[in-house]
Amino acid sequence: MPRLIVFNQVTLDGYFTGEQGDLSWAKARNKDPEWAAFVAENAGSGGVLLFGRVTYEMMVSYWPTPEAAKNDPVVAKGMNSLPKVVFSKSLKKTNWNNTRIVKGNLPDEIRAMKQGQGADLVILGSGTLVAELTQEGLIDEYRLVLIPVVLGKGRTMFEGVTRKPFLRPTGSRTFGNGYTVLTYVPVADAGAEKEEREEAMASS
């Protein structure tokens, strides 16, 4: 069955956008072939992309354009060809290739999608989706690109989350441009994580 994965960039102080949605801080300050290869690999790795309306409108304003095809040809090809779902009650139509609009209850729709067959579901941006689905315990993995910049103010992906999910780190990878990809999976609660550590120590 498909997993639900979050893939987002965050600052050192935990924000995924500036106060007004600014993302200029997320642009690499120096060229890094390894990072470029990583981005291209992810763009072509498949999956179903999930967006809220705000992130969708930002994405569709760039990726289907000739500018994107010229500047980021591999990523643009992936973004335009992959299946995409926009969760919005106000959006009326979309002209982006392989995109459909879903207006139903978000957690119910995600539960149904996770019971199906096919590729993983990947949320890009879309803090409102991340927060609601974190609250519902529906996210299977968080992949966060930690960018060593401090904004001071901004928006977190987890605004309004009250359930305090405990996350277990499962991997990290640091690139020459200073970016670090951190991967986490949720555990049932902090008690479950404690038991896991105790079992590991007992078996060592």
Q: What angle do CA 181, 69, 63 make, to 5 degrees?
A: 60
User: What is the band of 184 on the pLDDT scale with cuts at 50, 70, 90?
Assistant: very high
User: Whole-angstrom Cα distance, residue 140 to residue 2?
Assistant: 10
pTM of the model: 0.86
Assigned token pair, 158: 């987890």
Choose between 95 and 45: higher pLDDT. 95
Question: For 160-175, what is the HEC assignment?
Answer: CCCCCCEEEEEEEEEC
Judge whether residue 192 has pLDDT over 50. Answer: no
| Domain chopping of the chain, boundaries | 4-203
**CATH superfamily to which 4-203 belongs:** Dihydrofolate Reductase, subunit A (3.40.430.10)
Angle between helices 73-81 and 33-43 (to 10 degrees): 20
Judge whether residue 78 has pLDDT over 60. Answer: yes
pLDDT at residue number 203:
59
Helix, strand and coil content of the chain, in percent to the nearest 5, comes to 35, 25, 40
